[in-house]
Amino acid sequence: MSGAKELISKIGRQENLAGATESLELHRSIFEGDTWKNLPVMESLELAWQEYAQSQTTIPDLAETRGRSSRDAIQSFTRCLEDGVIPPPETLNLLSTAFSRYLAANGNLSLDEGFFGRPHKKHSSYAFAHGSNTDRMKAFSTFLAVSKVEDPRASQVNIAEKFLKYDNDDEADAETFLRLWRRWRQASTKWAE
C-alpha cells in the first residue's frame, strides 16, 4: 500500500497533467503493476476496461493498447478512439483530472492551464503544435529537407513558393507561410519534451 500512497502523492504534485509524457507514464505505472488493486476507483476502471475487451468479437490486446507510443493523454485518447478502442483507464483518469481542474477554477483557468499547467499562448500551445495544420507542416519539413539535398543553395522562400504551388495554395504568401512553419516547428519541439 505504501507504493500506492507514493504514486498518489506524485500524481497530486503533477502540474502538467494531460500534455506530459511523464504524467501518462506515471499513471500507466499504476496499471502495469498491481497498485490499481489498492485504489477502488482505479480498480473499477481497470476491471471495466478488461471486461469491455473480453466482450468484443475481436479481443484487443490490452497490453498493446496501453503501451502504444503515446506522447500524452490527449494523443492516447484520440488515437484509441480513431482505432475503435476504448482508451485505457490511465488516459481517462488523466483527462478527467484535467477537466476537473479546469472546471474547479470557475473560469479563472484556460484549457491550456487546466490541462497543461501553462498559460495559453497561441503560437506555442499544444493545439498549435499538434493541431490540424500538423500534417501540412510536417510535409513542408520533408519537402524542405529533400529540396535542400537536391539544391543546397535554394532559399527557404523559393522552396516555400514551390511547396505552396504543389499544395495548390495560391493564396498563401511564402514569407508568411515560413513564419508560421517556424513557429509551428518551435512549438512542436517544445511539446516533444
For position 154, what pLDDT does the model report?
93
Same-domain status, 18 and 52: yes
pLDDT at 15: 55
Say whether both 85 and 139 belong to one domain.
no
Q: Are residues 99 and 146 in the same domain?
A: no
Q: What are the distances in angstroms from CA 98 to CA 102, 129, 156, 174?
A: 6, 19, 40, 38
Phi, psi of 28 (to 5 degrees): -60, -35
181 and 150 in a common domain:
yes
36 and 113 inside one domain: yes
**Does one domain contain both 53 and 138?**
no
State how many domains the chain has.
2
Tell me the chain's radius of gyration from C-alpha atoms: 21
**Pair (113, 132) in one structural domain:** no
Nearest CA to 129 out of 68, 181, 76 is that of: 181
Query: How much is the pTM?
Result: 0.66
Instruction: Please indicate, yes or no, whether residues 41 and 85 belong to a single structural domain of this protein.
Output: yes
Assess whether 134 and 115 both reside in one domain: no
- Residue 179 and residue 93 share a domain: no
Q: What is the pLDDT along the chain (193 residues), one digit of tens a residue?
A: 455 455 455 555 555 567 667 777 777 777 777 777 777 778 888 888 889 888 888 877 787 778 765 778 888 888 888 888 888 888 888 888 888 888 888 888 888 888 877 777 777 777 887 788 888 999 999 999 999 999 999 999 999 999 998 888 767 889 999 999 999 898 888 776 5
State which of 59, 87, 120 marks the end of a domain.
120
65 and 151 share one domain: no
Three-state SS across 69-132? CCCCHHHHHHHHHHCCCCCCHHHHHHHHHHHHHHHHCCCCCCHHHHHHCCCCCHHHCHHHHHCC
Q: Which domain holds residue 69?
A: 2-120
> Looking at the structure, do residues 81 and 30 belong to the same domain, yes or no?
yes
Among 120, 145, 169, identify where a domain stops: 120
Residues 178/160, Cβ–Cβ less than 8 Å: yes
Give the per-residue pLDDT at 1. 44
CA 124 to chain centre: 14
Give, as one character, the DSSP assignment of residue 38. G
